[in-house]
């Protein structure tokens, strides 16, 4: 089954771009049908425009009432005919109505081996700094299904990334992000194949 992905992102959109590229070159069977962003200045909006993907900015400024915002998000995803949702660096919690409507079909990637270094407030460089502070030999990335609790959904796949003796946050983060993108593309390709 070809995926019809709604991609949610908040900032630069490098993960979104990796997925868009994989869709375009056939590594994932499907298409990106919508980009939703909560940040009107995010670079991901330019990436969407360059790829010819419709995008919309929805946030607490466009919809001050949280219930109205959730309803607008769900309406946009349904209106685009999306079959699946990908959170690709989306820095807001997805509303419960959208999670329920797409139960089992909302995916997120996390830059650590969940359940370690997950939960509210654990994202990006904060995760890598915590990994380095813990002085462990392995970190990695996780793709999981999204539920109403941060980073608590079913783990779909994980990949390990070694922590090197001379790593700093930037170096470790770069390696984890590369592994995370590759894992995400593998998972989405498998979901499309499985139908």
Active-site position among 11, 84, 110, 144: 110
Task: State both tokens at 78.
Answer: 């349904």
CB 191 within 8 A of CB 104: no
Q: How many CA atoms lie within 13 A of 48 on its CB side?
A: 27
Helix intervals (H) in the chain: 14-24, 43-51, 66-79, 96-101, 124-134, 169-194
Q: How many residues does the structure list for the chain?
A: 195
Element housing 6 (H / E): strand 3-9
Is 84 an annotated catalytic residue? no
**Cα–Cα distance, 46 to 32 (Å, whole number):** 14
Helix intervals (H) in 43-120: 43-51, 66-79, 96-101
Known catalytic residues are: 110
């Amino acid at each position: 089954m070809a995926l019809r992905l709604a991609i949610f992102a908040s900032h630069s959109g490098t993960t979104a771009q990796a997925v868009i590229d994989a869709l375009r070159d056939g590594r994932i069977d499907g298409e990106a049908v919508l980009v939703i962003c909560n940040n009107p200045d995010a670079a991901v909006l330019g990436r969407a425009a360059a790829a010819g993907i419709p995008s919309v900015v929805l946030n607490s400024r466009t919809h001050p009432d949280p219930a109205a915002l959730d309803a607008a998000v769900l309406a946009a995803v349904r209106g685009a005919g999306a079959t699946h949702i990908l959170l690709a660096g989306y820095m807001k919690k997805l509303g419960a109505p959208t999670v329920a409507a797409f139960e089992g079909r909302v995916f997120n990637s996390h830059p650590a081996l969940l359940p370690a270094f997950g939960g509210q407030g654990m994202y990006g460089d904060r995760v890598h700094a915590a990994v380095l502070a813990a002085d462990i030999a392995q970190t990695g990335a996780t793709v999981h299904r999204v539920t109403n609790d941060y980073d608590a959904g079913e783990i779909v796949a994980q990949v390990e990334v070694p922590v090197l003796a001379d790593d700093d946050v930037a170096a470790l983060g770069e390696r984890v992000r590369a592994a995370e993108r590759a894992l995400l593309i593998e998972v989405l390709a498998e979901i499309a194949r499985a139908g």
